Amino acid sequence: MSLGKKMGAEFFGTFWLVLGGCGSAVLAAGFPELGIGFMGVALAFGLTVLTMAYAVGHISGGHFNPAVSFGLWSAGKFESKELLPYIAAQVIGGAVGATVLYMIASGQADFVAGGFASNGFGELSPGKYSMMSVVITEVVMTFMFLFIILGATDEKAPAGFAPIAIGLGLTLIHLISIPVSNTSVNPARSTAAAIFADTAAMGQVWIFWLAPIVGAVLAGLVWKYFFSTSK
pLDDT digits (tens, 9 = 90+) for 68-122: 999 999 999 999 999 999 999 999 999 999 999 999 999 998 899 999 999 999 9
Helix/strand number for the chain, H first, E second: 10, 0
Q: How many CB atoms lie within 10 A of CB 112?
A: 10
pLDDT digits (tens, 9 = 90+) for 115-148: 999 999 999 999 999 999 999 999 999 999 999 9
Residues 12-21: b if buried by 16+ CB within 10 A, e if exposed: bbbbbbbbbb
Contact 163, 62 (CB under 8 A): yes
Q: Rounded mean pLDDT of 58-64?
A: 97
Domains within the chain, CATH numbers bracketed: 3-223 (1.20.1080.10)
Least confident of 7-11, 80-84, 158-162: 158-162
Of the pLDDT bands very low, low, confident and very high (cuts 50, 70, 90), residue 37 is confident
Q: What is the pLDDT of residue 156?
A: 86
Q: Record the pTM.
A: 0.95
Is a pLDDT exceeding 60 seen at residue 231?
no
